[in-house]
């Protein structure tokens, strides 16, 4: 292994779910280069050599799916909603301060 390979930035695949990767792309757009980026992104064969276009497509897909995909409710959330719907409102007699169900 040569010294340049040892000191080179690591190769990683761009993951739009990774907050750091999104920030690296933003820095690329702000500084017009990858000089500030601590990693090198791998460009897939279907995108050719155009790394920014590949990342841009992945980012658009990421944000569109986050915006328009239906929100998945957790099982706990559904249980809590059922319990709240089953509870009867309590009434209070103002004269005696007693609670009735």
pLDDT in tens, 48-62: 788 999 999 999 999
**Entry pTM:** 0.62
For residues 53 and 48, give the distance between their C-alpha atoms in angstroms, rounded to a whole number.
10
Is the pLDDT at 77 greater than 70, yes or no? no
State the Cα–Cα distance between residues 56 and 101, nearest whole angstrom.
58
């Amino acid at each position: 292994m040569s010294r340049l390979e040892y000191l080179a930035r690591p190769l990683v695949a761009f993951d739009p779910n990774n907050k750091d990767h999104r920030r690296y792309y933003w820095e690329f757009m702000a500084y017009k280069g990858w000089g500030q980026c601590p990693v090198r992104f791998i460009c897939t064969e279907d995108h050719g050599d155009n790394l920014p276009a590949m990342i841009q497509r992945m980012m658009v897909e990421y944000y569109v799916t986050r915006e328009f995909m239906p929100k998945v409710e957790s099982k706990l959330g559904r249980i809590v909603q059922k319990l709240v719907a089953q509870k009867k409102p309590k009434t209070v007699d103002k004269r005696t301060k007693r609670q009735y169900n």
